A = this chain, B = another copy of it.
Amino acid sequence: MGAARLIALDWGSTRLRAFLLGDGGEVLATRQSGDGAATLSGAEAYARALAALVGDWRAERPGVKLLACGMVGSQYGWREAPYVRCPADAAALAARVLPLDERFSIVPGLVDDAARPDVMRGEETQIVGALALHPELADDAVLVLPGTHAKWARVQGGRVTGFATHMTGELFALLRQHSVLNRLMPADGSSPASPEAFLQGVAAAAEEGGLGHQLFAVRTLGLFQRLASEQLPDYLSGLLIGHEITRELRAAAPRIALVGDPALCARYARALAHLGRPAPLQLDNTAPAGLWRLAHTMDPTRC
């Protein structure tokens, strides 16, 4: 392996992912474990999880630095890295990185502090990475990061000027697993995809009427056999993603880019295209690029 310059850690609620980065920020090796922040409690547990995953990387490279982003820095994490307020750019984040020791630091999250605050942890680093990889987004764009708690972040002049969280992924899981809507659906994971039902859900979401009402159609369309049992999960997905998108598009976004899991981004891209707003740019996890950029911003001579 080449000269490793940084161990980049994307440490979210459910997973810990480690990237060994070389001289130019290129990924030399990756590893992951199930030691997400939601499964750990107390500094010792975090230290053990870190040693288990990358102890040998550190031993072989005395002095290598580590930079982590995500829920590891929440008030229930290893140690709290207080939120940085919007608007904020990479320099503002780098200036507030929390050092745990000489070699290991945690990137803070962002807060959009309006009447009802909104927060992110980990996505700010993915955004920094996306802008590093695609500087043309920095001037004016909306970055959409789908997931359990999807984020819509507005970027202007290289800074995140504001953002909104949508609990789309969590609502899907709750309704799929625990609600009356699951009764007519096949068991989890057994149904082939139905792009048609997905787009029907997207179209229904674009109409007026509350989400709590529109959701009930998942049941009645099944009850009256207008959709097959195996199409209902995709209709539900389309309804929830369509709601998120149509409510956000009212704010007349400029260029849109999707960042995250490719399958989920593809789903969002289909919905956006159906609603007349194609999002040609789709980026896979940009956390390593973001951590590299932040490390370089903190100490240009070291990375």
Q: How many Å from the CB of A76 to the closest CB on chain B? A: 9
- Please state the number of chain copies in the assembly: 2
Q: How many Å from the CB of A124 to the closest CB on chain B? A: 15
Q: Does A299 contact B (CB under 8 A)?
A: no
**Chain A interface, DSSP helix/strand/loop, else mixed:** helix
Give Cα distance in the complex from A93 to B166, angstroms. 42
- Proximity string of chain A (84-120) to chain B, C-beta cutoff 8 Å, 1 when within and 0 when not: 0000000000000000000000000000000011110
Instruction: Kindly report which residue of chain B lies nearest to residue A118, judged by CB atoms.
Output: B220
A243 touches B210 (CB 8 A): yes
From B116, B175, B208, B250, give the contact of A204 (CB < 8 A). Answer: B116
Which of A39-47, A55-63, A126-134, A211-219 faces chain B? Answer: A211-219
Contact of A210 with B179 at beta-carbon distance under 8 Å, contacts A216-B165, A220-B117, A220-B119 already known:
no
Instruction: Kindly report which residue of chain B lies nearest to residue A183, judged by CB atoms.
Output: B76
Give Cα distance in the complex from A243 to B75, angstroms. 31
A224 touches B117 (CB 8 A): yes
Q: Does A269 contact B (CB under 8 A)?
A: no
Q: How many Å from the CB of A17 to the closest CB on chain B? A: 21
A247 touches B180 (CB 8 A): no
Q: How many Å from the CB of A109 to the closest CB on chain B? A: 11
B208 touches A211 (CB 8 A): no
Q: Which residues of B contact A220 (CB under 8 A)?
A: 116-119
Q: Does A167 contact B (CB under 8 A)?
A: yes
B179 touches A174 (CB 8 A): yes
Q: Which residues of B contact A119 (CB under 8 A)?
A: 220, 223
A240 touches B224 (CB 8 A): no
Give Cα distance in the complex from A251 to B211, angstroms. 16
